[in-house]
Amino acid sequence: MLLDGKRIVITGGTGSLGKTLVKRILTGEMGIPKKLIIISRDEAKQHYMRMAYLHRMVATDEVIYRNFLNLLEFRIGDVRNYADVCSVLRDADIVVNAAALKQVPACEYFPEQAMLTNCMGASNIVRAITENRYPVQTVIGVSSDKACKPVNAMGLTKALQERIFIAANVLNPQTRFVCVRYGNVLASRGSVIPLFHDQIKNGGPVTITTEDMTRFLLSLNHAVDTVFAALKDAKPGETYVPRAPAATMVNVAKALIGDRKIPIKVTGIRPGEKIHEIMVSDEEAPRAVVRGQWYAIKSMLPELLEGTTSEPAALIKEYSSGDTVLDFKGTVELLKRHKLMIDDAINFDDGELLR
């Protein structure tokens, strides 16, 4: 199977996506890796994640930190630091770069910090592989819908990260660099649904920025499916985009509120925020092809298209969350299907996301 015997590195592996990705990898559904290394700079998140996997063992420091002999290994490090990146990539076969600054307002106020993590982090990965000739087989860059037609600092840095990885294929033909791009992930840390749940539990109001705002609704498992699909089928320089349902945020809020007497308050657009999520731009549409449940955006670099077969374009315009929006009933059904309604008593603490 695809991951059998592989050494896998996940940067930013203590985030919502990283934790779900780790959980899925450890099921063995894609094969049993030789090593799975989580590198991040937050020791507290690493501690709680490590404890969640070792909760049946005696939780002493000796047991907790003797994990370098285990399948799952934790390392403190930062993608901003070239030495840290070199150390962790030295024997890696597959790298998933999930380290990111992703909160739009935070990146607007601290764009240089977003650049250091989202751009220089990607550059350090490419540089480490290039300068040291590390035998890395595949690098997957985790991007965002905000990289498409970017209007904010977070999107600008993610767009540049995509370009850094895609261009890396030209001078590193021994390593395949690909990207995945998706929008709002249901129940991920800092996303809107946990915020709505918290506001409802505290009696409201539930805040939305504008009544016509739409978002793609993607589960964490669907996000991981996108990573697995790119790992399995993406060609060098391609970006995989899931075809996902979309809904208005006001319908999401109403669905979660249900019969409760809780008001909805319109607060206005936040700095750098879009009305609709765009996953594939008008300019990218002619290069987008269908791959199962995903669109694959081919690279614009001619060197990466030589020798590839011609595939019909799947889109004639941009792919936006405003194109096909679920009605209220469809929104409720989707949230229930993913067990995200408040009545399901889902707890969005970090530990719950691991179960």
Which two three-digit tokens encode residue 133?
A: 């000739």
Alpha-carbon distance 194 to 212, whole Å? Answer: 20
For residue 216, which phi and psi values (nearest 5 degrees)? -65, 145
How many Cβ atoms sit within 10 Å of the Cβ of residue 32? 15
Alpha-carbon distance 264 to 198, whole Å? Answer: 14
CB 75 within 8 A of CB 38: yes
**Could you tell me the domains of the chain?**
7-353 (3.40.50.720)
Which two three-digit tokens encode residue 141?
A: 């860059």
CB crowding 315-352: b at 16 or more within 10 Å, else e: beebbbbbeebbeeeebbebbeebebbbeeebebebee
Helices (DSSP H) in 147-217: which residue ranges? 153-171, 192-201
Which two three-digit tokens encode residue 183?
A: 């929008």
Which two three-digit tokens encode residue 135?
A: 């035998």
Full pLDDT tens readout for the chain, 355 residues: 899 999 999 999 999 899 999 999 999 999 999 999 999 999 999 988 988 887 644 444 444 445 555 789 999 999 999 999 999 999 999 999 999 998 888 999 999 999 999 999 999 999 999 999 999 999 999 999 999 999 999 999 999 999 999 999 999 999 999 999 988 787 666 678 888 989 999 999 999 999 999 999 888 999 999 999 999 999 999 999 999 999 999 999 999 999 999 999 999 887 767 899 999 999 999 999 999 999 999 999 999 998 777 889 999 999 999 998 999 999 999 888 877 665 543 443 433 332 2
CB 273 within 8 A of CB 104: yes
The residues pairing with 11 across neighbouring beta strands, listed in sequence order, are 39, 97
CA distances from 328 to 16, 247, 273, 334 (A): 27, 8, 23, 10
- Whether the CA torsion 151, 154, 159, 160 is positive or negative: it is positive
CA distances from 336 to 74, 196, 293, 331, 344 (A): 34, 15, 22, 9, 8
DSSP for 97-156, written as a single string: E------HHHHHH-HHHHIIIIIIHHHHHHHHHHHHT----EEEEEEEGGGSS--SHHHH
Question: 146 catalytic, yes or no?
Answer: yes
Backbone angle region of 28, left / alpha / beta, with phi > 0 → left and psi within -120 to 50 → alpha: left
Q: What three-state secondary structure class fits 207?
A: strand
Alpha-carbon distance 127 to 165, whole Å? Answer: 11
- Residue 318: name the closest of 269, 276, 350 by CA: 276
Alpha-carbon distance 239 to 331, whole Å? Answer: 28
Residues with Cβ within 8 Å of residue 289, at least 6 apart in sequence: 295, 296, 298, 311, 312, 313, 314
Residue 55: the pLDDT is 65
Alpha-carbon distance 115 to 106, whole Å? Answer: 12
Residue 65: the pLDDT is 44
CB 11 within 8 A of CB 98: yes
Residue 187: the pLDDT is 67
Residue 348: the pLDDT is 38
Name the catalytic one among 102, 146, 274, 298. Answer: 146
The residues pairing with 215 across neighbouring beta strands, listed in sequence order, are 247
Vertex 96, ends 18 and 184: CA angle to 5°? 55
